[in-house]
Structure 1
Amino acid sequence: MRRPSKNTSQKLSADSQRLATLAQAIIQAASRLEERNWERQLDTLLRKLLKNDHQDTIDAALDHLFKQESAAYDALMECAEAASESCQIEQDGVLYDALLIAMPILAWTRFSIASGAIPTDVTTTLSAHLHAHMLATETKMVMASALFSIDQLPRNHAETFAFTHRMAQAALKGAALKQPTQAPETAPFLADTRYLLAVVTAVAGEPLFRWQASANLAERDEALAQWNAQAMPNIARLLPGCGIELLLPEAYFVACREGDKQIRPASIRAAVHYLTHTLNVEPSALQAIIGSFGEESTDGRVDEYRIGFTLEKDTDVVYGIVWPLYGEEDDAELQYRSVETSTDPVISADIERKSPIEEILALLEECGIVNVKRHTECFAMEFCDDCGSPLYADMNAELVHAEMPEGAPAGSTHLH
């Protein structure tokens, strides 16, 4: 679930209030017909605001609903995402549906993970594999000639809307896309997600994906297997020195969330691998300190876990990673914390593993980390004033900067 921005105005504009009212009407609808009527009105208003780049109007409504009514917030967020990642375009008298899709790539390394422009021949080959194994036969598509890091993706709904429309026009006209201009730099994480982006179009109402055309959901698994087999050699060329896993290409926002979720376990494994090799120690010589972090305005709700690593019998945090929570995971953590009875700061991982904290404990145990301390308090989400890096809780519950020991070999400076 997206978090509200800070310092938002208390008074909503007319359009923001209308967005909030329509979202509330959707969840109160007594029939599907009524619900769809409210959705059409909401979609029309959203498209108008997105076309005019009025992202602040949408954000204000989302922030208001986040504090007032979570179900209406979810309804508005779902509609805003749909309005920005999909559209309908008329071409030569024919109406087409268009959808922005993302192809998440999980990557981990001790070195660096590439991003940015990719060769045209690689884009052409990957486009052919995507169409052959994922897309319905009669679709048209265009793929961006770039490998995107999260910092290089469209930053909000309005930018996504503009990107989707630009790509959709190119797909329908069969036009070549311009090579991306210089992209923002991305932080050098040891484990991170990269994305290929494409827009797929079909005559309005016709299927976009192969499993839609066949009405056989089992084809999704087969499509993913074929995508991995055929696309992997080309993607490996783009990410030398990296371990790679390809996820299912899906609608943009769903795929991005799935990529963010799935990179988290790889981040822990990459951290332990990096620290043991860089510091020349066994995993058992490391300690992990888990802190819960959240915005001060969310009444103790956990936004993310931050996991700091120290050397055995040392108090200095030498490295840290962030494990953000998404969607239903927020509520799962609240429920877990409400029934948790142990006050012992050293936690056993020998428990049923369902919640994110239990998954973290299981991964640490799998990696050989036997000393784990979890603070019971929820910390404010503090960052370093100088470099912007997140601060981590040390053994004494003080928030500190993660710093490698003096004399440690130089390498990548961040973990996801």
Structure 2
Amino acid sequence: MKRTRFSARKRISPDAGELGRLATGLAESGGRLEDHLWEAQLVALTERLLADGAEDDINAALDRLYDTHADAHDELADLVESCAESCVLTHQGRDFDILLFNAPVLAWSRFSIPAERIGGGTLQSLKVQLGAHVFAAGADIALVDFLYSPDQLPRSFVDTWRLLRELGGAALEHRDLSLDVETLPETSRFLSDTRYLVGAVAVPRGAPLFRWNESDGNREQAQKEWVKQGGPCLEPLLTGCAFQPLLADSYHAACRNADSASRPYSVHASAAFLQTTLGQPTESLRAVIGGFHDRQLEEFRISFGPRDSDAVYHGVVWPLLGAEDENTDIIGEIEAVLRESGVKEIVSLDQQFPFEFCDDCGAPLYPNLEGETVHAEMPESANTASQTLH
């Protein structure tokens, strides 16, 4: 996974340098046999660094390769993610493949979106539905008894690796993991956000992991059944929320899928929120789209207001992801989503807006019809605590 980094050239440790050398060899390999040679050495070193907690060495190697060899950077990032989210553990004399997984849930609410402990009955119901519709027959599943917000997920490769090992052991012992919630950071409040059900799955070495890895399964059917059967199990955790479960996948892939899916979801949620709060149809709204730049284009911000004035009632941030840049038709995608949401009047501004936030409260500023950046402010008659959809 390519990560945007801006770093000064500096000396790095021997281990970080060796990571770079092996990743470069893998990126420049001419065939699968050579791939296996480089990859085996790279996996061994990466797993040692993760076990030692050497996050700085891993990040230093990624920083250096980002500046010097993009393909090697991507090879190393993919491999580090794989090592942080999967492993082989031995239990009672047998080897098992362990995968850390994530089942994201998109949600929005006029009230606070919960991030809270999951009760035992709900946890077991979720495991039953995951086992029946998402994972392969015979897979052992362990869940964390907490519905994470984005602020509360593991913050590093090393933290992710440690959670993998702890949850993997729990799966092999047919138990779940009780989280110490006192150590978790506070959750930022947004009208639209993502929650994460995190767990590990264990299967005998080389056996199928997911339902769609089996000959009679497919991903689309798994998604359909998980939403249909797993969705009701999530309702007690998301009181007062509209929500959309996403299909569970390997930890990092699921996070990326949620980041991507949350962008159109936030736009649809914004239109529904404004329609409900203002008591007006979405056709009465105007949307203004502007691109916000730091050293490069970072994100688009979408403001919502009435068609008969230049007021800005509400805003949505649409960040660029992965390989997206100025040459990607993001505006066309945003406009299509706005039309699906019922917004008819859409204005796309060509100017480059500075990547700025309010000095007082830290909220993003949104473009108005005149090309200025302003706070989103709901009218006084609408009683709501936040004007940002995340």
Normalised to the residue count of structure 2, the TM-score between the two structures is 0.91
- Relative to 1, partners in 2 of residues 1:63 and 1:289: Cα closer, same or farther, differing over 3 Å? farther
SS of 1:184 mapped into structure 2: coil
The aligned amino acid for 1:327 is G
Instruction: Please state how far the C-alpha of 1:269 moved relative to its aligned partner.
Output: 1.6
Measured in 2, the distance between the counterparts of 1:286 and 1:133 equals 40
Measured in 2, the distance between the counterparts of 1:152 and 1:56 equals 21
CA contact (8 A) 1:49 1:55 kept: yes
CA contact (8 A) 1:88 1:96 kept: yes
CA contact (8 A) 1:117 1:180 kept: no
Alignment correspondent of 2:238: 239
Measured in 2, the distance between the counterparts of 1:16 and 1:389 equals 37
Measured in 2, the distance between the counterparts of 1:128 and 1:17 equals 45
CA contact (8 A) 2:143 2:176 kept: no
Match of 1:358 among 321, 328, 332: 332
Instruction: Please state how far the C-alpha of 1:9 moved relative to its aligned partner.
Output: 5.4
1:309 and 2:309 equivalent?
Answer: no
Pairwise mapping of residues 362-381 of structure 1 onto structure 2 (< 5 A)? 362-381=336-355
Identity among equivalent pairs (%):
38
- Relative to 1, partners in 2 of residues 1:14 and 1:173: Cα closer, same or farther, differing over 3 Å? same
RMSD: 2.3
Measured in 2, the distance between the counterparts of 1:27 and 1:239 equals 44
Measured in 2, the distance between the counterparts of 1:270 and 1:176 equals 33
Instruction: Please state how far the C-alpha of 1:105 moved relative to its aligned partner.
Output: 1.4
Alignment correspondent of 1:210: 211
SS of 1:135 mapped into structure 2: coil
Structure 1: which 5+ residue stretches go unaligned? Answer: 337-354
Alignment correspondent of 2:220: 221
1:318 and 2:313 equivalent?
Answer: yes
CA contact (8 A) 2:275 2:281 kept: yes
Measured in 2, the distance between the counterparts of 1:116 and 1:291 equals 35
1:178 and 2:178 equivalent?
Answer: yes
- Relative to 1, partners in 2 of residues 1:39 and 1:222: Cα closer, same or farther, differing over 3 Å? same
The aligned amino acid for 2:129 is H
Instruction: Please state how far the C-alpha of 1:283 moved relative to its aligned partner.
Output: 2.9
- Relative to 1, partners in 2 of residues 1:111 and 1:206: Cα closer, same or farther, differing over 3 Å? same
Alignment correspondent of 1:199: 200
Instruction: Please state how far the C-alpha of 1:289 moved relative to its aligned partner.
Output: 1.9
- Relative to 1, partners in 2 of residues 1:376 and 1:2: Cα closer, same or farther, differing over 3 Å? farther
Instruction: Please state how far the C-alpha of 1:316 moved relative to its aligned partner.
Output: 4.3
Alignment correspondent of 1:253: 252
Measured in 2, the distance between the counterparts of 1:270 and 1:123 equals 27
SS of 2:356 mapped into structure 1: coil
Query: What are the Cα deviations for residues 211-251 of structure 1, in whole angstroms up to 9, with x where unaligned?
Result: 32x334x4322222222222121111211222222221111
CA contact (8 A) 1:102 1:196 kept: yes
CA contact (8 A) 2:366 2:373 kept: yes
SS of 1:83 mapped into structure 2: helix
SS of 2:219 mapped into structure 1: helix
Measured in 2, the distance between the counterparts of 1:250 and 1:17 equals 32
Instruction: Please state how far the C-alpha of 1:400 moved relative to its aligned partner.
Output: 3.3
Alignment correspondent of 1:292: 291
CA contact (8 A) 2:144 2:197 kept: yes
SS of 1:260 mapped into structure 2: helix
CA contact (8 A) 2:303 2:313 kept: yes
CA contact (8 A) 1:106 1:193 kept: yes
Alignment correspondent of 1:131: 131
Instruction: Please state how far the C-alpha of 1:18 moved relative to its aligned partner.
Output: 2.1
Measured in 2, the distance between the counterparts of 1:5 and 1:383 equals 21
Instruction: Please state how far the C-alpha of 1:184 moved relative to its aligned partner.
Output: 2.4
1:71 and 2:45 equivalent?
Answer: no
Match of 1:394 among 358, 368, 375: 368
| Residue range with higher mean Cα deviation, 149-158 or 314-323 | 314-323
Measured in 2, the distance between the counterparts of 1:369 and 1:138 equals 48
Measured in 2, the distance between the counterparts of 1:203 and 1:161 equals 20
Aligned length: 389
1:277 and 2:276 equivalent?
Answer: yes
- Relative to 1, partners in 2 of residues 1:10 and 1:395: Cα closer, same or farther, differing over 3 Å? farther
- Relative to 1, partners in 2 of residues 1:312 and 1:137: Cα closer, same or farther, differing over 3 Å? closer
CA contact (8 A) 1:308 1:392 kept: yes
- Relative to 1, partners in 2 of residues 1:114 and 1:356: Cα closer, same or farther, differing over 3 Å? same
- Relative to 1, partners in 2 of residues 1:135 and 1:274: Cα closer, same or farther, differing over 3 Å? closer
Measured in 2, the distance between the counterparts of 1:210 and 1:367 equals 33
SS of 1:162 mapped into structure 2: helix
Measured in 2, the distance between the counterparts of 1:105 and 1:207 equals 25
- Relative to 1, partners in 2 of residues 1:392 and 1:6: Cα closer, same or farther, differing over 3 Å? farther
Alignment correspondent of 1:345: none
CA contact (8 A) 2:377 2:387 kept: no
CA contact (8 A) 2:141 2:202 kept: yes
CA contact (8 A) 1:188 1:413 kept: no
SS of 1:168 mapped into structure 2: helix
- Relative to 1, partners in 2 of residues 1:276 and 1:140: Cα closer, same or farther, differing over 3 Å? closer
The aligned amino acid for 1:38 is W
The aligned amino acid for 2:366 is Y
Alignment correspondent of 1:102: 102
